[in-house]
Structure 1
Amino acid sequence: MKKIFPVLAIMLTGILLVGCGGSPEAPDNPPAGNPSVDASVDEIIEAVKARIIEDLEEIGYGEEEFEIEELPGYVIGDLTNDEEIDFVLPQLDRDLIVAGFQIRASMMLNSDQIIVIEAAEGELDAVREVLEAEHAAQLEMWQDYLADQAEKVENIIFAEAGNFILYAIYPDAEGIEAVFNQFVQ
């Protein structure tokens, strides 16, 4: 009897530890891949920039150009910076977003524009409306200015996951969407 009691105590302790350990799907530990938990605008922008660098290298950009500019021919804007948001998307209320960035062609000969935003809780619809208005304005401008760029604007990709939204006008917008999806799905 004296030998059974310690064995039972150890088994009971083991059962309690296993039973109270919780599962990885518990509410305070969401499943991996939940965009509101695992995705980061900073991670997405770095991956998008890497993709653009690959594309620029493919068309002949070399080290010299990248030493001068991080992304030659593009401007990168942080949408959490009040001055930049007023310049880039003045119609976007800063309170609608948690984080965001824009990469846009630096010359008005190219319609490339990539925006990734993490909307504040419950504000995704409002952010989408702003981006749809931006798209309409871009389309109108490029139709009157450069027809080949207007076609690229017409082929925009909007993608959403959780509180994240992607707006991509780019020669390989599908490639940018694939990068976005790596982080939010």
Structure 2
Amino acid sequence: MNIADYKKFDVINGTGLRHSIFTSGCQHHCKGCFNPLTWNFNYGTPYTQSFEDQVIRDLNIEYVRISGLSILGGEPFQNVDGLLGLVKRIKNECVGKDIWIWSGYTYEELITDDSRLALLSYCDVLIDGKFKLEQRNLKLTWRGSENQRVLDVQQSLSQGQAIGLGMF
């Protein structure tokens, strides 16, 4: 797995002050994608144990309150093997940090695949659905097109259906 970008102290991709990882590789190829460079699985730099350790340290810094980690792409769910260890570590080593994840897959598609469901189960918020240029709306929060949803993952998993995140 490659990392296209890592942004520390991000205030755009989720609530609060957070860090964001952009994975490389996406087979959706949405027309009008804001980040088409990340379609290439070889774009960026290789994901290493050293990078993972740095993310954990960055999430646990004490001089400022970091809310959590956002995982975008590319398509994170086409990089499950690389991300699963990281999200497990975050839940074990980063007390009180949430995980937001963006995907071109819908919640309903993700829960039908065991490996994708494993990654999803460690996340708190999912923004799902492919970007659709014909449904683009620049006034939406955390999503680019009307078909995309902001979902409470843990509530969705416990209730067996997609549950929106309150105010969005």
Same topology, TM > 0.5: no
Larger Rg: 1
- Name whichever structure is richer in helix by fraction: 1
Considering Cα pairs closer than 8 Å and 6+ residues apart, tell me whether 1 or 2 has the greater RCO: 1
Instruction: Please give the TM-score of this superposition, normalised by the length of structure 1.
Output: 0.28
Instruction: Please give the TM-score of this superposition, normalised by the length of structure 2.
Output: 0.30
